[in-house]
Structure 1
């Protein structure tokens, strides 16, 4: 148990340091000092700083998957996912978007992970690829496929799915960045996000054969 706790503490302290100074700005000694152990002890748990970084990526993948599962967001084959999104009402969509938004805004590890990547993306090609994949490519790819299928199934009005995805996701990410350093204004951030989703639904959603 002690060994496992020490390993987790190394990851936690490394993430905190990376989120402030970036990957290249932190040494193994810095991490060991933050944990309160010797460098040699740290190497019993991780072979290198890169392995710590890779473990943080795996941990974030798991935490995000856990959040998606907790809020029962549709997963799997895109036709079934689109059908589930189409059947659910606007209240459900707003709750789902709020859950994901607050995960990246408030979850201590998710927030630090995002800040780490934002700092490091201009200096470290691996961090740049991770940032691009997590916060741009994966999100846009999924939403483009989702909206394309929702158009095909008659839940959305016709239009270029990639542009519809951009119109949905860009404000989401902009609001996240806008309120990133203002935790006391979380309520304002969520309210603005909800207004965005309501307007998006008015423009694109079809209910009972009618564009809302």
Structure 2
């Protein structure tokens, strides 16, 4: 891991616990094990670190979406697996969970962070699912309807459980049942 990556990683850990205002450049440098001057070689200021974390997080989400082959989502089981894969990524990946926690802490203080949270954790998943569902509607695999509303319906329980710690063994079967109900209601027979 490069020094720049370590700075971002340790900053995210600190921001996700203490909030942006509660973290100093000095505390970040201390956690990374470098002098303040070394930190400034990579980032102009604390805000630049925060912005780099946001950019990196968005890139990670986009990369994860690219890894998933949406063209193969043509069976109920494939849709169910996709939903669970993304849910586990958003709730178990350490970078994503720290990022989400950091944004939740900051979004009530900073409207820009609220917009970033909305973009990554609400808009992006809904947009990807809407595109997928519209394609399935066009192929005759889903009943005709509003693909965006379908996306919102499917995603809502997943989104709700992003904010709370829940035992995966207890929650995953319920979420799978939710996807099965969705498929039962919308897939063409």
Q: TM-score, normalised by structure 1?
A: 0.81
The CA distance in 1 between the partners of 2:60 and 2:125, in whole Å, is 16
Contact 2:8 2:49 in 1 (8 A): yes
Give how far 1:99 is off. Answer: 1.4
* Secondary structure, aligned partner of 1:57: helix
**What does residue 81 of structure 2 align with?**
95
Comparing 98-107 and 29-38, the one that deviates more:
29-38
**What does residue 53 of structure 1 align with?**
50
* Secondary structure, aligned partner of 2:108: coil
Residues 1:19 and 2:9 are matched in the alignment: no
The CA distance in 1 between the partners of 2:124 and 2:60, in whole Å, is 16
Residues 1:181 and 2:165 are matched in the alignment: yes
1:152-177 deviation per Cα after TM superposition (whole angstroms, max 9, x unaligned): 32111122323212111111111333
1:55-103 deviation per Cα after TM superposition (whole angstroms, max 9, x unaligned): 2123223333443344x322xxxxxx4xx43xx2222222222211111
* Secondary structure, aligned partner of 1:44: helix
The CA distance in 2 between the partners of 1:17 and 1:7, in whole Å, is 15
Contact 2:8 2:53 in 1 (8 A): yes
Residues 1:172 and 2:161 are matched in the alignment: no
What is the count of residue pairs matched by the alignment?
189
Q: Gapped runs of 5+ residues in structure 1?
A: 75-80
Comparing 31-40 and 143-152, the one that deviates more:
143-152
Q: Gapped runs of 5+ residues in structure 2?
A: none
Q: State the superposition RMSD in angstroms.
A: 1.9
Of 162, 173, 179, 1:191 maps to 173
1:110-131 deviation per Cα after TM superposition (whole angstroms, max 9, x unaligned): 1100111111111112211110
Contact 1:118 1:131 in 2 (8 A): yes
Contact 1:175 1:193 in 2 (8 A): no
Contact 1:73 1:96 in 2 (8 A): no
* Secondary structure, aligned partner of 1:159: coil
List aligned pairs for 1:108-127, cutoff 5 A: 108-127=94-113
Give how far 1:147 is off. Answer: 2.2
